[in-house]
Amino acid sequence: MPVLMIDTHIDIPWEEKTAGGLPCWEKRDQADIALRETERRFTLPKAEAGGLGAACLAAYTPQASLDEAGHEAAWRRARAMLEAMEEMVPLHVPGRAVLCRTAQDVRRTAGAGQVALIPVMENGYPLADDPAKVGHLARRYGIRYITLTHNGHNLLADSAVVRQGPAEAHGGLSALGREVIGEMNRHGVLVDVSHASRRTMMQAVDVSTVPVFASHSCVRALCDHPRNLDDGQLDALKASGGLIQVTAMAPFLRRGGGGTLTDFVEHVLYVIRRIGVEHVGISSDFDGGGGMEGWQDASESHHLPAALERAGLDGSEIRAVCGENMLHLMERAEKEIVESQT
Ligand SMILES: [Zn+2]
């Protein structure tokens, strides 16, 4: 039986900041999504060659100033990136990819031999202090998760990685952050705790009515990096029914960098032993710094199920890790939308 493989975190290439240090909102041409020979690690021909069925594409915003200029630039950028994703398919890869909003859309698209693209947002910074933006983004663009923070605190929550300033700004989630999680739950938008501080993550598990997930993080017990989840966090994730998507970021896999597919599989196996096979998945962080020996770009995605098979996983376990766990979590979030509308 074929494996429906979902890579839960991929960036789209974009200029980081303006000369003035604000998040850049100017559209970047996405024609290279159609190319096989290009530096871009995720493209349609590469996904097709690697047997990748679905990919979460992130509208990522770098953290900048917590003032009106910063928030306005971030909001413009996030929408421009989501519009670029919408335009990408008809402009460059018509008939080969479909922008998907539900787990059922993803299954149908992958089943038809097309690549399912799932729009998501990395960093809650563009929301500024307005929780209503969550509903707008969900309805207008169909985003399926929001990563609460990037590197640096925003108005919602504290981040795991802080380049300057105090280690904490809110002691985890702010009151606004809690309100935003409520909005995310109501609109079927998953709460992504990758990049969040430990305290933010543990509080999000308590606040969210839908299990939280880490879209691109690894295991702290195997590699002591602030972006990774420790055993207590994994246990909390299990208790909530959540999911950690081990990521192909070499410095998160092995201390000092140089992590490979072998290390990646070790992280997956660790999560399975600690909290069970239904709580782990896969992500690359391609075009956002991810990629390692054994999974350099989307054309090598088929190496993952093969490596998991060599590690002793059976067919149903491989399908769970490679995509089914994520689809089940999306279905769980979708159920909440229906329930909150009745
Ligand atoms: Zn990231």
Whether residue 46 is contained in a domain is answered as yes
pTM of the model: 0.97
> Does residue 342 register a pLDDT over 70?
no
Is the pLDDT score of 293 beyond 90?
yes
Q: Cα of 251 to ligand 1 centre, how many Å? A: 13
Band of residue 341 on the pLDDT scale cut at 50, 70, 90: low
Judge whether 267 lies within some domain.
Answer: yes
Q: Which residue has the higher pLDDT, 114 or 163?
A: 114
pLDDT value of residue 134: 98
Q: What is the CATH number of the domain that holds 331?
A: 3.20.20.140
Cα(107)–Cα(53) distance, integer angstroms: 9
Residue 339 Cα to ligand 1 middle (Å): 31
Using one digit for the tens of pLDDT, what is the confidence trace for 63-113?
A: 999 999 999 999 999 999 999 999 999 999 999 999 999 999 999 999 999
Determine the distance separating the centroid of ligand 1 and the alpha carbon of 327, expressed in angstroms: 21
| Interval between CA 310 and ligand 1 midpoint (Å) | 29
- For residue 150, the CA-to-ligand 1 centroid distance in Å is 7
- Has residue 211 been placed in a domain? yes
| Other beta carbons within 10 Å of 258 | 12
CB 151 within 8 A of CB 186: no
- Digit-coded pLDDT (tens) for 20-59: 999 999 999 999 999 999 999 999 999 999 999 999 999 9
Centre of ligand 1 to C-alpha 29, Å, is 22
Count of domains in the chain? 1
Domain assignment of residue 74, yes or no? yes
Q: What is the mean pLDDT of residues 236-264?
A: 96
164 band by pLDDT with thresholds 50, 70 and 90: confident
Ligand 1 centroid to Cα of residue 136, in Å, is 23
- 215 C-alpha vs ligand 1 centroid, how far in Å? 8
Mean pLDDT over residues 127-134, rounded? 98
The chain-wide mean pLDDT, for the chain, equals 97
The confidence band for 225, taking pLDDT boundaries of 50, 70 and 90, is: very high
Q: Which domain holds residue 297?
A: 6-341
**How far apart (Å, rounded) are the C-alpha atoms in residues 335 and 51?**
29
- pLDDT mean over 188-209: 98
Q: What mean pLDDT do residues 171-187 have?
A: 98
Residue 149 Cα to ligand 1 middle (Å): 9
Rounded to whole angstroms, the Cα distance separating 79 from 20 reads 20
**What pLDDT is stored for residue 2 in this prediction?**
84
Ligand 1 centroid–CA 242 distance in Å is 18
Ligand 1 center from residue 9 Cα (angstroms) = 8
Q: Tell me whether residue 1 is in a domain.
A: no
Does position 296 have pLDDT exceeding 70, yes or no? yes
* CA–centroid distance for 143 within its chain: 11
Ligand 1 geometric centre to CA of 7 (Å): 13
CA 229 to ligand 1 center in whole angstroms: 14
Three state DSSP letters for the chain: CCCCCEEEEEECCCCCECCCCCECCCCCCCHHHHCCCCCCCCCHHHHHHHCCCEEEEEEECCCCCCCHHHHHHHHHHHHHHHHHHHHHHHHHCCCCEEECCCHHHHHHHHHCCCEEEEEEEECCHHHCCCCHHHHHHHHHHCCCEEECCECECCCCECECCCCCCCCCCCCCECHHHHHHHHHHHHCCCEEECCCECHHHHHHHHHHCCCCCEECCCCECCCCCCCCCECHHHHHHHHHHCCEEEEECCHHHHCCCCCCEHHHHHHHHHHHHHHHCHHHEEEECCECCCCCEECECCHHHCCHHHHHHHHCCCCHHHHHHHHHHHHHHHHHHHHHHHHHHHC
The rounded Å distance from CA 341 to ligand 1 centre is 32
pLDDT of residue 52: 98
pLDDT exceeds 90 at position 163: no
Ligand 1 centroid–CA 216 distance in Å is 7
| Residue 204 · residue 236 · CB < 8 Å | no
Alpha carbon of 314 to ligand 1 centroid (Å): 30
Q: What's the CA-to-centroid distance between 289 and ligand 1, angstroms? A: 9
* CA–centroid distance, residue 114 to ligand 1 (Å): 26
At residue 116 the predicted structure's pLDDT band, cuts being 50, 70 and 90, is very high
The reply to whether 98 falls in a domain is yes
Report pLDDT for 256.
86
Q: Ligand 1 centre from 96 Cα, in Å?
A: 27
Is the model's pLDDT at 309 over the cut of 90?
yes
Distance 194 CA to ligand 1 centre (A): 7
